[in-house]
């Protein structure tokens, strides 16, 4: 089976080499857990290997994505300039217009892009724009189909439910995902409430993977999963 390396130290080991090619993987977490960072790192890794990528964002402007990536040491600008990276902005505040784009423009952009890697950051904001539950599901399923047809491997970031980090806020994204990675944090009362971050691979179709909880660091080089560390 072909695998797509995420480029995230430790995570590829947990996945026995990477995400199976063509998978849609959702990354669940509260804000600040590093979902955007993880997605950017995944995109950057592909670009460095000469792949093409599409970053669909509902949270930040193109310039802000490039600047944030740079703060983690990922230099995306050259790739947007040479056309191997496209950043596609959707405006959550303009739901009518955005829904129109999600149903019409976006599928075409995905089909014609020839990208190997695709990110939607975040799928929570995307699904939040729909009032109608049926329309929401239908659009999401059809978008996923387009991504599969395009042969891309995708990461969807999603807000976790406040009371359960293993479940997304919208409760839908898990059903369209081949894999689910959960990021969460705990406060350590013994160290002045210091925040400790953990990652687990909850689901990954068609591959064996680590089922252990592993700590990760979110630092100036992005995310590193301490896959050798044992958490009791
Ligand atoms: N240059 C940096 N060096 C170290 N940590 C950083 C840097 N930039 C951001 N961070 C950390 O990353 C967090 C934001 O990560 P982000 O991927 O935006 O989270 P999310 O998308 O889950 O909300 C910040 O709260 C901060 O802790
Ligand atoms: Mg984010």
Q: How far apart are CA 95 and CA 92, in angstroms?
A: 6
Q: DSSP of 164-223, one letter per residue? A: EEEEESSS-HHHH-SEEEEEEEEEEGGGTTEEEEEEEEEEETTS----S-EEEEEETTEE
Residue 184 has pLDDT above 70, yes or no: yes
Give the C-alpha separation, 144 to 32, whole Å. Answer: 26
Q: Could you tell me the pTM of the whole model? A: 0.96
Is 207 domain-assigned?
yes
Residue 142: domain span:
3-225
Q: What is the CATH number of the domain that holds 148?
A: 3.40.50.300
User: Is 46 contained in some domain?
Assistant: yes
Average predicted confidence (pLDDT) for the chain: 95
Whether residue 122 is preceded by a cis peptide bond, meaning omega within 30 degrees of 0, is yes
Measure 68 CA to ligand 1 centroid, in angstroms.
Answer: 8
Closest ligand 1 atom number to CA of residue 37: 17
Q: Which residue puts its alpha carbon closest to atom 2 of ligand 1?
A: 220
Mean pLDDT value across residues 37-61: 97
Burial (CB < 10 A; 0-12, 13-18, 19+), residue 225, is buried
Q: Does residue 164 lie within any of the structural domains?
A: yes
Is a pLDDT exceeding 80 seen at residue 21?
A: yes
Q: Residues near ligand 1 with C-beta < 6 Å?
A: 29, 31-37, 71-72, 218-220
- With the most atoms of ligand 1 within 8 angstroms of its CB, the residue from 37, 165, 196 to mutate is 37
Ligand 1 pocket mutation, candidates 32, 72, 198, criterion most atoms within 8 A of CB: 32
For atom 16 of ligand 1, which residue has the closest CA?
34
- 32 Cα to the center of ligand 1, angstroms: 6
Q: Is 230 inside a domain boundary?
A: no
**pLDDT surpassing 80 at residue 232:** no
pLDDT tens across 139-148, in order? 999 999 999 9
Residue 140: predicted pLDDT? 95
204-229: pLDDT as tens digits: 999 999 999 999 999 999 999 999 99
Residue whose CA lies nearest to ligand 1 atom number 4:
219
Token pair of 191, please? 């160290």
User: Which residue has 């947007």 as its token pair?
Assistant: 80
pLDDT-based confidence at 231, cuts 50/70/90? confident
In Å, what is the CA distance from 88 to each residue of 59, 118, 120?
11, 11, 9
What is the tally of helices (H) and strands (E) in the chain?
Answer: 9, 12
The DSSP element (H or E) to which 88 belongs, if any, is strand 85-89
Domain presence at residue 85: yes
Q: Rounded CA gap, 137 and 135, in Å?
A: 6
For the chain, give the number of residues.
232
Distance 5 CA to ligand 1 centre (A): 22
Q: Cα(34) to centroid of ligand 1, in Å?
A: 5
Residue 232 lies in a domain: no
Q: How confident is the model at residue 189 (pLDDT cuts 50, 70, 90)?
A: confident
Query: Into how many domains does the chain fold?
Result: 1
Q: Is residue 99 part of a domain?
A: yes
Residue 191: pLDDT over 90: no
The pLDDT of residue 110 is above 70:
yes
Q: Is the pLDDT of residue 43 over 90?
A: yes
**CA distances (Å), 219 to each of 71, 136, 150, in order?**
9, 35, 33
Query: Which residues face 55 on adjacent strands?
Result: 87, 119
pLDDT band at 193; cut points 50, 70, 90: confident
Whether the predicted pLDDT of 39 surpasses 90: yes
Residue 27 CA, ligand 1 centroid: distance in Å:
15
Percentage of residues in the chain having pLDDT higher than 70: 100
Residue 152: inside a domain, yes or no? yes
């Amino acid at each position: 089976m072909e695998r797509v390396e995420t480029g995230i130290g430790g995570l590829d080991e947990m996945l026995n080499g990477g995400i199976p090619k063509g998978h849609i993987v959702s990354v669940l977490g509260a804000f600040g857990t590093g979902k955007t960072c993880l997605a950017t790192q995944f995109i950057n890794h592909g670009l460095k290997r000469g792949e093409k990528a599409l970053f669909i964002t509902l949270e930040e402007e193109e310039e802000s994505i490039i600047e944030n990536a740079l703060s983690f040491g990922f230099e995306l600008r050259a790739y947007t300039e040479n056309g191997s990276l496209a950043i596609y902005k959707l405006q959550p505040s303009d739901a009518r217009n955005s829904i129109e784009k999600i149903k019409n423009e976006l599928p075409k952009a995905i089909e014609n892009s020839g990208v190997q890697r695709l990110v939607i950051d975040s799928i929570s904001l995307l699904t939040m724009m729909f009032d109608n539950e049926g329309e929401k599901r239908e659009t999401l399923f059809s978008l996923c189909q387009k991504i599969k047809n395009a042969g891309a491997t995708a990461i969807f970031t999603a807000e976790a439910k406040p009371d359960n980090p293993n479940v997304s806020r919208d409760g839908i994204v898990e059903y369209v995902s081949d894999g689910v990675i959960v990021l969460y944090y705990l406060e350590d009362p013994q160290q002045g409430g210091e925040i400790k971050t953990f990652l687990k691979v909850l689901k990954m179709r068609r591959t064996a993977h680590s089922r252990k909880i592993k700590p990760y660091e979110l630092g100036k080089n992005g995310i590193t999963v301490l896959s050798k560390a044992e958490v009791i």
